[in-house]
Structure 1
């Protein structure tokens, strides 16, 4: 006798904000589906964020599809735990079919054309469509020199950092001057730790500008709507997101004023265990300031075009702080002599998609090949990718548009979500 397996309309992999947003859109269309989550709802937010972490979007923008903010602090920001609670509430309130603690082990083509098989820790599922929303920033990257560091140094990634009290006593070297690196360096400095920060050539943003939260302006002005391909055309690559403090403007200047020792880019380890850095801190400060000025200029132009009655530009908090730079610049650093006991790598992340055994959906580095979330295989989609379609992609406020677009792909494009059936 042949056992038949019910074929779902769709399976969503991942129950973060992207996966839950897609599930919400699927449910609105009356489509049968499951959301498979390796841990709990919002697992990455629970386990890969530090204790003092806060969102970078204001409360008025930190909302799920169909919801709107009705609280008393629209310009406030959610803590890590409050954001997880928001996701849990959204899933429960909308009765979304989330299966927690159910990791996907393999995704492969099924026996029938157009059907995909998913092997999970609880068994097998079949679906005509699979939306991968497991995140593209959940596996830490470390430079090749990490293995050459003295064994006496304790090394962790940004995703493993929780608080200063969890670290060994002593100074800390934070490598990477992006969002995580700067926020973790500030958290450590506030805890009284001696902090060395290896900076990067990354832009920054003021927290507020001309009377509004900067994120409000970025949405209204269309800055976040710039397409991925346009960004690559302009810059030759997808850049790291600009540094944005959750509650205040953050900059290399402000960090140095808190006592953080600014270093250039980390370049390796000499034979005697000396850490080496480039002499480019001044360039990194200048680049970040220029990036901030460029964004503000675009906002000014938008305000003028739209005829918005906005307050005059206030002084940039970063530019009224005189940076405290090592003199002479530090090119080499002896960890033992400097009292460094811990190195925190804030050098980027990638997605973990090794379980996808499908041709043509991943590149040579195992990362998604997609356009606007759609792959070359009918019925295989990605949701929530950082810079997946536009600058807005990868930010919670993007899923309200992204989810219904993926669910409602037109049939003439060959990616429509059909009705369920069964296969042997």
Structure 2
């Protein structure tokens, strides 16, 4: 059995490092492969003003104490990358950087992981590259003329890098709302094609909303209660990292709100008539989360102060009248389009039957693949609402680590 690892972990982001910590605690011989540097996605797919949506005290990995400076502050991506590097060093995790996993196969009960440096053999493999590393664009993106520069939220950095002129942001989830505000604060003319997505307040009843969602169990809601019958993952609700962002507050900053982007027609950008519905849905989702928290506070008998009015929710939306259904591109001044329309994982390098579905995404249950010994960590909504975010790493790592331990015990018995 010489040269056979207990496990190979693919990806040195928060999910991969979390499971590596658990494997090390179990004394398991393993390697963590990272295609670039530690936290590569955090380094290369975030805009300059980006900050984590989860506060520092809720952004810790397994084994780290909650006593942190500025516990309710929001880290920049650079600060979080530094934290990941420190985590690897402090816990002596076996990370190999600049070593992508190029191909995963299986032979005689063992997994074979091909890399540019070597072929690794392991009894277990944890794919921790996540499902948010390849941006998705709707088919209508192909209809736009080449005179428009098209970017994804993962390649946007700041307003100064864009050509002079107005910007169309497509999608009003977390990235879309935050980027639209970033552009507006930089003095750019911004059009926001909205979508049916929820939102959250940043603070509620004298506490960070993320803390309430953690304590109340809102983040523990199982996948089965979140994912519709179609299986399509819902977008994460719009949440400002340091303050509440609403469609209303964006409009007050000069962002022109539009309905869903439908494509090009006779030289014009065309939008749906669903803007009012999108604003209403976002407002209702915020109210629903607050009711969930209120119920928890009442059941737990907590003496939490009453809620203060949030200016971002009180302000009336400033909507174009008449509503804008089309914009003639030639006279609009729009020179750039930023797609904030979601991501998917890239699992094409996995060459094992019954592991990847027709949609190109993993076949799993709670992160456990149908092929024994294959695991997926960091997938959005894999098990609960907090799967795929930093706050869910510790729980997921413990669950997968325990499953590996049970499998290893049976392997040698």
TM-score (norm 2): 0.97
8 Å CA contact 2:267–2:330 kept in 1: the answer is no
1:99 equivalent among 96, 100, 103: 96
Alignment size in residue pairs: 412
Provide the rounded CA distance (Å) in 1 between the counterparts of 2:223 and 2:77. 28
Structure 1 SS opposite 2:67: coil
Which residues of 2 match residues 344-359 of structure 1 at below 5 A?
Answer: 344-359=338-353
Which residues of 2 match residues 19-168 of structure 1 at below 5 A?
Answer: 19-110=16-107, 112=108, 114-168=109-163
Provide the rounded CA distance (Å) in 2 between the counterparts of 1:183 and 1:42. 22
Structure 1 SS opposite 2:396: helix
Structure 2 SS opposite 1:96: coil
Mean alpha-carbon deviation: is it higher for 403-412 or for 35-44?
403-412
Residue number in structure 2 paired with 1:343: 337
Provide the rounded CA distance (Å) in 1 between the counterparts of 2:404 and 2:36. 33
Provide the rounded CA distance (Å) in 2 between the counterparts of 1:411 and 1:249. 43
Structure 1 SS opposite 2:311: coil
Provide the rounded CA distance (Å) in 1 between the counterparts of 2:111 and 2:228. 35
Shift, 1:335, TM fit: 2.4
Residue number in structure 1 paired with 2:309: 315
Residue number in structure 1 paired with 2:403: 409
1:262 equivalent among 241, 257, 260: 257
Residue number in structure 2 paired with 1:278: 272
Shift, 1:220, TM fit: 0.7
Mean alpha-carbon deviation: is it higher for 277-286 or for 401-410?
401-410
Shift, 1:336, TM fit: 2.6
1:391 equivalent among 365, 369, 385: 385
Provide the rounded CA distance (Å) in 2 between the counterparts of 1:289 and 1:417. 50
8 Å CA contact 2:110–2:123 kept in 1: the answer is yes
Provide the rounded CA distance (Å) in 1 between the counterparts of 2:395 and 2:229. 25
Provide the rounded CA distance (Å) in 2 between the counterparts of 1:376 and 1:280. 41
Shift, 1:354, TM fit: 0.3
Residue number in structure 2 paired with 1:11: 8
Shift, 1:368, TM fit: 1.0
8 Å CA contact 1:407–1:416 kept in 2: the answer is no
Provide the rounded CA distance (Å) in 2 between the counterparts of 1:342 and 1:194. 11
8 Å CA contact 2:373–2:404 kept in 1: the answer is no
Residue number in structure 1 paired with 2:394: 400
Provide the rounded CA distance (Å) in 1 between the counterparts of 2:170 and 2:58. 30
CA-to-aligned-CA distance 1:379-420 (integer Å, 9 cap, x gap): 0000111101000111112111111211111777xx447789
Residue number in structure 2 paired with 1:304: 298
Gaps (5+ residues) in structure 2?
A: none
1:368 is the counterpart of 2:362: yes
Mean alpha-carbon deviation: is it higher for 330-339 or for 179-188?
330-339
8 Å CA contact 2:251–2:319 kept in 1: the answer is yes
Shift, 1:142, TM fit: 0.6
Gaps (5+ residues) in structure 1?
A: none
Provide the rounded CA distance (Å) in 2 between the counterparts of 1:22 and 1:418. 20
Residue number in structure 1 paired with 2:318: 324
Residue number in structure 1 paired with 2:187: 192
Shift, 1:70, TM fit: 2.2
Residue number in structure 1 paired with 2:241: 246
8 Å CA contact 2:355–2:363 kept in 1: the answer is yes
CA-to-aligned-CA distance 1:220-240 (integer Å, 9 cap, x gap): 111111110122368974311
Provide the rounded CA distance (Å) in 2 between the counterparts of 1:236 and 1:361. 17
Provide the rounded CA distance (Å) in 1 between the counterparts of 2:51 and 2:146. 33
